Amino acid sequence: MSDFLTPTFVISVLAAAVAAGTAILFACLGELITERAGVLNLGIEGIMLMGALAGAGGCIWSGSAWVGAGAALLAGAAMAAIHALLCVGLRANQVVSGLALTIFGTGLSAFLGRDIVGMPPPSSFRRIDIPFLAEIPILGRILFQQSALVYVSIALVVFLWWYIFRTRAGLRLRAIGERPEAADAMGVDVARLRALYVVMGGALAGLGGAALSLGTNPGWTEGMTAGRGWIAVALVIFAAWNPARAAAGAYLFGGVEAGQFRLQTAGVDLSPFFLSMLPYLFTILVLVLSTREATRRALGAPAALGRAYMREDRG
Amino acid sequence: MSNRLTGSPAHRLRLERVPSPSRGATALVTVLSFALALLAGGIVLALAGENPIAVYLAMVKGAFGDRNGVAEVLVKTTPLLLTGLGVAVAFRMQLWNIGAEGQLYWGAIFATGVGLFVLPAAPGWVLVPAMIAAGLLGGGLWGLIPGALRAWFGASEIITSLMLNYVAILFSEYLVHGPWRDPGAFGFPGTPPLPAAGWLPNLGTTRIHLGLLFGLIAALLLWIMLRRTRWGYEIGVMGENPRAALYAGMPTKRTILLVMALSGALAGLAGMSEVAGIGHQLQRNLSPGYGYAAIIVAWLGRLHPFGAVLVAFLLAALTVGGDQLQMNLGLPAAIAPMLQGAILFFLLGGEVLTRYRLTRVIG
């Protein structure tokens, strides 16, 4: 326990937090744009699993981690397309459709992945130090000595923030989630845009799966996301539907995950079963606190979240 | 109506709401969703290089081919029914309890604790009711946590109840690997066996046990409660029209707590009946995901207790068939949840046909 809380130790935990939080971050951003469009997708866990499988499988098949990442994007998009079809096209219950997606994705990934369980992928996203930036004291070690996927996720946070809050397309995205009737009257095709964002959100969640199977936990194992998809859904509330806050939340969870292993290796006298509970308990705590904050500061969810838009019902 | 100025003024199809779906249409959609899911599953199997017909025949044979198969289906019906009933009662109030898995584990933990440490020497007529009570209590308390967080803090019970599943399973693993581990046992970690007085009696020489009767009785009681009591009526109103319930002065917070406790208690009873009826000890992997399949039982059964009985039986057959595949053909049992998810998709898609009808409009 002597090397505990030294600067080196803290910096290495923070760097590990960013690495471990990236999978959750991708999934959280995917859910974020989905919810911004007014659709709740509880299938993120199942989508991430399919993404993790497609990532590992694509990489084993082609030898390239980038091909794996592409496969994960496609798998995630395909899974989310089911949700879009049911919830946007056919106005099915979004909660139940999302749960069905998670059950389906868990079963399908276990079935399709039966032959590559535990097989190490021939390549993965390894650490790349960014010239100059990696030399910055402390921050360089935490943010710029990471894998390519981490850089992609950071760029995505910046891009999505700009897109949602600073562009016309982003304004339309917010409109279909807040006031679909008004957006419709403005000439926006609500159903088509919603479906598009659901599918893109699914693609990001799929990539989140690949950030595990080609990044921090290389290879495919059944149920390897271990609830990270659900944590991502909870984090969207913490993030108040803002990409920058989503990054903060995802790294917080990455920190809990990384810290848990460090505590174990540091010989902390607590059963590993209890340490493993930490991310889940922490999620509940974060959810309760952020729900309270959201109510107090009126950082509400998109007003039409979870509600199918029925043009026929419009006055 | 049409604010789209461009586009040709042709006939367009649109969905029109039907006031209330007919029973026949509902039943037809349910049967069709099963058939279409099997068809879609067959395509996936064929693409994966398996012969779908052979796989399905093997599943049917595994589930209904002999006396043991049928008995096993009824054994698996028990936890699916009890957890499904619990989920259904919560869903009726639009409380999305997806924590049945963890609530099942806590029921098993409490019941095992009573059998091993509280009343180890009690006769059966004391021990079995005590373990039933403990199972109900364990599951009910675990269900109360997300209920309370929802009632007082507004926290989504979907997330909290799901997170608590992981916590419950990890805690039970801790018990069977640590303080409750049977030091004399080899192989899979588990607690020492429960005293025989606490075992639920079996039907003849089969593995079917008294738990099945618990499930059927629970379905009947729930049906009476939902249909005949004021409380059951209030649950329905709060689910369908929370605002009306508020104006009518119905105690929403208290009902959330009670419904979540009842929902959890039913899942807890499933856990109790698994340890007392099947394993006779608390062990790893007590449930292969009954608490998640319960969501399908509830929704496919239209949140109706008797519907849950039927669907629990069907899903049990699917599960037993899937297990047989693993044993006989070396195929993963994951085919069962895959098909379950697909059934739900088709049901959700098909429901639109019962709630809406297609009409042509000149637009």
Its domain, for residue A209, covers 7-313
Say whether residue B54 is in contact with chain A using an 8 A CB cutoff: no
Q: How does pLDDT run across A145-203, given as a tens digit for each residue?
A: 888 899 999 999 999 999 999 999 999 999 999 899 888 898 889 999 999 999 999 99
Q: Is the ipTM of this complex over 0.90?
A: no
**Domain harbouring B273, CATH code:** 1.10.3470
The residue whose two tokens read 């049967």 is B31
Q: How many domains does chain A have?
A: 1
Name the percent of chain B lying above pLDDT 90.
51
Q: Report CB contact under 8 Å: B334, A110.
A: yes
For residue A306, being part of any structural domain is answered with yes
Is B179 domain-assigned?
Answer: yes
Count each helix (H run) and each strand (E run) in chain A, helices first.
12, 2
3-state secondary structure of B153: helix
Work out the end-to-end distance of chain A between its first and last CA atoms, rounded to an integer number of angstroms.
67
Element (H, E) at A198: helix A190-211
Contact B311, B264 (CB under 8 A): no
Q: Is residue B52 part of a domain?
A: no
State whether A277 and B344 contact (CB < 8 Å). no
Task: Name the residue type at position A249.
Answer: G
pLDDT tens profile B152-177: 998 989 999 999 999 999 999 999 99
**Chain A CB contacts of B166 below 8 Å:** 226-227, 277, 280
Tell if the CB–CB gap between A107 and B153 is shorter than 8 Å: no
According to the model, what pLDDT value does residue B13 have?
67
Smallest CA–CA distance, residue A122 to chain B, in Å, is 23
Identify the domain containing residue B183 by its residue range.
Answer: 65-330
Least Cα distance to A22 among A294, A185, A258, A188 occurs for: A258
Q: Compute the nearest-CA separation of B114 from chain A (Å).
A: 23
Catalogue the E-assigned strands of chain A. Answer: 127-129, 145-147
Find the range with the poorest average confidence among A122-131, A223-232, A275-284, B8-17: B8-17
Q: Do A104 and B341 touch (CB under 8 A)?
A: yes
> Domain tally for chain B?
1
Confirm whether B8 is domain-assigned: no
Residue A234 lies in a domain: yes
Dihedrals phi, psi of A277, to nearest 5 degrees: -75, -20
- For the entire predicted model, the pTM comes to 0.89
The reply to whether B291 falls in a domain is yes
Q: Residue B363: pLDDT above 80?
A: no
CATH of the domain at A252: 1.10.3470
Q: Which residues of B fall within a CB distance of 8 Å from A226?
A: 166
In a domain, B314, yes or no: yes
Contact B170 A291 (CB under 8 A): no
**What is the structure's pLDDT at B362?**
62
Of A47-51, A78-82, B338-342, the poorest mean pLDDT is in: B338-342
Nearest CB neighbour to A99, from listed B15, B295, B332: B295
| Cβ pair A92:B342 closer than 8 A | no
Predicted pLDDT of residue A299: 66
Please report whether residue A2 resides in a domain: no
Closest CB to A287: pick one of B156, B342, B351. Answer: B156
**pLDDT score of B7 more than 50:** no
Inter-chain CB pairs, A–B, below 8 Å: 149
pLDDT band at B19 (very low <50, low <70, confident <90, very high): low
For residue A229, the one-letter residue type is G
Structure confidence at residue B1 as a pLDDT band (50, 70, 90):
very low
Nearest CB to A107; choose among B149, B295, B337: B337
In a domain, B30, yes or no: no
Q: Residue written as tokens 């993120």? A: A44
Query: Are the C-beta atoms of residues B80 and B109 closer than 8 Å to each other?
Result: no
